[in-house]
Structure 1
């Protein structure tokens, strides 16, 4: 029990000769170094708070202003127009101070006030500049003079070398759309999904809502928008995620995959060593705010970074009515699951981060540990995979004190969770397509008890060296976790690397303490609840039908040559594929970010529009003008996407109006019906964010397969796609076996066919469309 002895700083015993005091110098050294590390982090946070607080100016600019004001005073001019003299009169200083010193001190006070006023003015100007979004609606490659001036001003007011959170105070608040605009856009979005009778009824409900209750609810919403940083995000997190009482596994959590064609090392412990070290390098950059602020690709426009704050040391805590997201400032360890045991693995020793080789050494110790799981420990994680209310009750009853509380606290406070899986996954074997499907299901739900689904993210390392990540959804959206995952994959393979034998590089400190196995005392009643939660989770997992494939016939390179947005192209292909699969259209959800605004998260793009349905019907019906209709549909989709990004979406506004109605205790038939409509086709794109980390041209094998999520509706599909390089699009398709009308494999085949049909429709050998007077495009018929 050497590690237990090292954990005690001192011991003493009372003897006839007096008190025998024994100090553990190693333990005291650890305490001292831990304190030093903690204070260093506090100083860094304080320094960054000052730098961020005065951005886009810099702290050194204060000295420049002071010197400039003092210099003008010595030239016997008064730039303050008498304010310095006024300050000097009311300055509460000792009479012993000379007049000259009082004048200098007054000048410094005035300079500071002037400096703060300049900062406020610059931030206000930048905020107003970032509120301008007309640039998004201009034709690609044709920038107006107004936008050119705007870009120049944004560069001027953006300052130099921003930290991660430098722009937070300058981002505009999400605007509240007008009721009439939202209702009009909603009715337009559902017109093609309803017959005349249904649409007439819905129009009547919408008109009644707009003219009566809607204005009252809107007033409360505008009042909230005046004082809240974002009128949507807190309610979205609370009511969409945290108040959900069904399992978060499959229903909410999502996953990300490893490299598709490459496994950097076949050694499980080595892959974990490099990867875990990379995660903590990212956390170090995050704490120091050294990560570059995310921006709209190809622009200087920053995106909100508020979600980054809770990447590490964060856990979703179950409650009977609602869950909560708990975040801790720091933790120097992770929790590792292997063969039914939980281990606490410290990644810092003597104040330094363990090297990849040392982490590999510690992981291998866990893999070699022959200890059996405690009674009830092996499948404990199933509690986080089942329904939330039973988990909340079990947590309060069995994990609120004693050894169970200490072990649970250890898991929940860990930087993140790690699973050492005994399976082998990846694209392998005689049937690589089927192996990818198994890989996706493993990352989404595993065995339903070998992941801790409440953690902000869990990392899975497989026996053959493959890995993957599972993210909890309430605290942040997928792009935040994807940014972390990209950095980790690139650092693991390109920066840290491996030896010829496949091990991590570096040396090992042999004095490292053994990873500490967590202790549990699980009563029989709790074991029964674990079994019940596992049964619920297993039934849910078994019902998931998943299909993953890489489409390599063409990619965004060929699509762009057809003068079409790749995202619009894929969305039209999905509409065509769904119509061919189900013989109908459905309400379609495409996730769009609203991080142009402070604390922005997502908005819905309703991809199934009147234009898209008209195109699909024309194509399937053999009509001649389907090419013109395709152009109109893709342009409409781009317009809807831009409107969603710029705060003019439909669904978040209606959602918040519904929340207000519930607070006021009033019923709205219109809102109730809108919020109950099922999203049978839920889609999301996960574009690469840090292309500079990967050389896809020279090393195309080093690409991730992207990630995916479970189906949203029992009779619907979940589709995630990732556009990689110029010639690849990866698709992740999910549905449920219990629905006889859906199938991930058959829908995947329909998507492939739709992609081929659309590219043939737009192929360069076709005559280019001409512009008509009203700006619409039409195609000359082939002779």
Structure 2
């Protein structure tokens, strides 16, 4: 609707010289005002950057520091006594050592090893409606992002006096950790006007803005309710796709390379989102009947979920449970816990005490029937569970051939066994034989685990295939029975 409304201001016409487009006066005025607002925002931000960059030091102190640096350069003095040059030799082209060597170079999975979680109110649930809680929480999160963009978040003060660096706040939103073979890197976008949503194995794109402003909490609730009411099933391989973000980083980096060529648009929607949202189908939270066990289950759901219903690469995943409880799963590399904690405190306070809910538990305001449906993401993923089976059969045939060769005295293990006997007889330690045995055992273990996972995947595929066939059969039987019943009714009913 917004695009159609904007198109009214354009008046195309055909002349002998070609096509011409005329802009109406309101459109020209809107373009002018938009450019003016943009320049005002940039100038305001530049001035604010200058002021906050100087605080808490005075311009005189900056002048003194500049003079000292110039004097040291003129006298060819090195205040670090050669330490900085030594560091540059050992660590070339490294800007943030802690971020790179503690987080980005780690090849371990993010889930449990790096990511952490944040809980909701333990004893209060503002509304039991899942879509309503998601609408208010996401609206509050985006209000916080708006304040960040306008630089209205004051720095945290140490002991109420010394301000701490606020650089980490910049990457709260629109940020994704991208896997690499040797190290990851952080991708941060200047802006994003949508969130990526996961529900029952399906991915959706939900816009967060209308033409001129942020969507209201009630409009966001409407969009999430549409996703909850959508009966469409997950596509093959889509349901467990996010589990790749919980894999070792090298493995995920290799798979992502092929995923980026096969499903680039869907992947960009997820990685380019403001943040990730998971609408869980199960309830969670503290219960009075068994507080210890329920709290453990709540923490487990926030930290790991089912392993495939969180996008662990995103800066954070907002988790909304079926009973209205909330939580966060946070990626650690972009910032420390106090940063996300400040955001979460603002979100809960704004969502509960400022936005609030109506008496029936819905977000305040009215739905917007003109909003388009949430966009279902399409993952064009080839079915590989047949290719693997074919390769496995080839491997089995090869194994049978090697087994027959070994039985006829042509196996390499016989020669290794002879060398082992000689080394034991001569009391010689053979590093070659010792290290080959450990490596061989490890390779055998890895191969058996691969075969087990292959058979498990095959059984899962068969169950899903059998279930889909049974469901289709029930649907057809139900359709035929309704048709038969309708025919009998039409045949036995008296004529009016």
TM superposition score normalised by structure 2: 0.66
Whole-Å Cα distance in 2 between the matches of residues 285 and 276 of structure 1? Answer: 14
Q: Secondary structure of the residue that 2:181 maps to in structure 1?
A: coil
| CA distance in 1 between partners of 2:189 and 2:175 (Å) | 6
Give the direction of change, closer, same or farther, for the CA distance of 1:365–1:480 in structure 2 (3 Å limit).
Answer: same
Give 1:329 deviation, angstroms. Answer: 0.2
What does 1:334-483 correspond to in 2, within 5 Å? 334-400=195-261, 404-428=263-287, 430-483=289-342
Report the alpha carbon displacement of residue 224 of structure 1 after superposing the two structures with TM. 10
Other structure's SS at 1:400 match: helix
Which residue, 44, 49, 61 being the options, matches 1:47?
44
Equivalence for 1:182: none
Asked if 1:242 is matched to 2:104, the reply is yes
Does the C-alpha gap of structure 1 residues 370 and 12 become closer, same or farther in structure 2, counting only changes over 3 Å? Answer: farther
CA distance in 2, matches of 1:490, 1:527: 52
CA offset at residue 35 of structure 1?
11
**2: distance between equivalents of 1:528 and 1:486?**
49
Q: Residue by residue, what CA displacement relative to the aligned partner does 1:112-149 show, whole Å, maximum 9, x if unpaired? A: xxxxxx9631546899xxxxxxxxxxxxxxxxxxxxxx
Question: What is the SS of the residue equivalent to 2:322?
Answer: coil
- CA-CA distance at 1:373 after TM superposition: 1.7
Tell me, yes or no, if the aligned pair for 1:268 and 1:462 is still in contact at 8 Å. yes
Distance 1:314 1:519 in 2: 22
Aligned-partner Cα distance in 2 for 1:220–1:448:
44
Aligned twin of 2:130? 268
Q: 2:121 aligns with which of 259, 264, 272?
A: 259
Match of 1:501 in 2: 360
Tell me the equivalent position of 1:331: 192
**Change in 2 beyond 3 A, CA 1:437/1:39:** farther
How big is the shift at 1:240? 1.2
Normalising by the residue count of structure 1, what TM-score does the alignment of the two structures yield?
0.43
In the TM superposition, residue 496 of structure 1 has moved relative to its aligned partner by 0.6
Is the 8 Å Cα contact of residues 33 and 350 (structure 1) preserved in structure 2? no
SS at match of 2:204: strand
Aligned partners of 1:251 and 1:323: how far apart in 2?
15
Q: CA RMSD in A?
A: 4.1
Q: Which ranges in structure 1 are unaligned for 5 or more consecutive residues?
A: 59-117, 128-177, 179-214, 530-783
| CA distance in structure 2 between the partners assigned to 1:439 and 1:431 by the alignment | 12
State how far apart, in whole Å, the 1-side matches of 2:361 and 2:386 are. 40
- 1:121 alignment partner in structure 2: 60
Change (3 A) 1:451 1:349: same
Q: CA deviation at 1:525?
A: 3.3
Cα deviation for residue 34 of structure 1 reads 11
Q: CA deviation at 1:528?
A: 9.3
CA distance in 1, matches of 2:221, 2:89: 54
C-alpha distance 527-380 of structure 1, shift in aligned 2 (>3 A) = farther
Of residues 172, 175, 179, the one that matches 1:311 is 172
1:283 to 2:145 alignment: yes
Describe the shift of the 1:36–1:486 C-alpha distance in structure 2 as closer, same or farther (beyond 3 A).
farther
* Residues in 2 aligned to 1:285 and 1:55: alpha-carbon distance in whole angstroms: 15
- Taking CA–CA contacts closer than 8 Å with sequence separation of 6 or more, which of the two structures ends up with the larger relative contact order? 2
Between the two proteins, the alignment pairs up a number of residues equal to: 370
Does structure 2 conserve the Cα–Cα contact (< 8 Å) formed by 1:12 and 1:20?
Answer: no
Distance in 1 separating the partners of 2:261 and 2:38: 31
Q: Is the 8 A contact 1:337 1:343 kept in 2?
A: yes
Asked if the contact 1:312–1:416 (Cα under 8 Å) also holds between the matched residues in 2, the reply is yes
Change (3 A) 1:417 1:43: farther
**1:220 aligned partner:** 86
CA distance in structure 2 between the partners assigned to 1:123 and 1:224 by the alignment: 31
Question: Kindly tell me: are residues 217 and 485 of structure 1, through their superposed partners in 2, closer, same or farther at Cα, counting changes over 3 Å?
Answer: same
TM superposition shift of 1:374: 2.2
Return the alpha-carbon distance in structure 2 between the equivalents of residues 479 and 528 of structure 1: 48
Q: 1:359-414: per-residue Cα shift (whole Å, max 9, x none)?
A: 1111101111112222221111011011111211111123235xx10111111111
Larger helix percent: 2
CA distance in 1, matches of 2:236, 2:5: 26
Deviations 1:181-221 (CA, angstroms, capped at 9, x unpaired): xxxxxxxxxxxxxxxxxxxxxxxxxxxxxxxxxx9877624
- Mapped to 2, the partners of 1:315 and 1:285 lie a distance apart of 21
Within-5 A mapping of 1:42-81: 43-55=40-52
Summarize the Cα distance change of 1:432–1:370 in structure 2 as closer, same or farther, 3 Å threshold: same
| Pairwise CA distance, 1:430 | 1.8
The CA distance in 2 between the partners of 1:519 and 1:34, in whole Å, is 35
* Partner-residue secondary structure (3-state), 1:352: coil
Q: Distance in 1 between matches of 2:229 and 2:290?
A: 32
Pairing partner for 1:511 from 359, 362, 370: 370
Query: CA 1:33–1:12 in structure 2 vs 1: closer, same or farther (change >3 Å)?
Result: closer
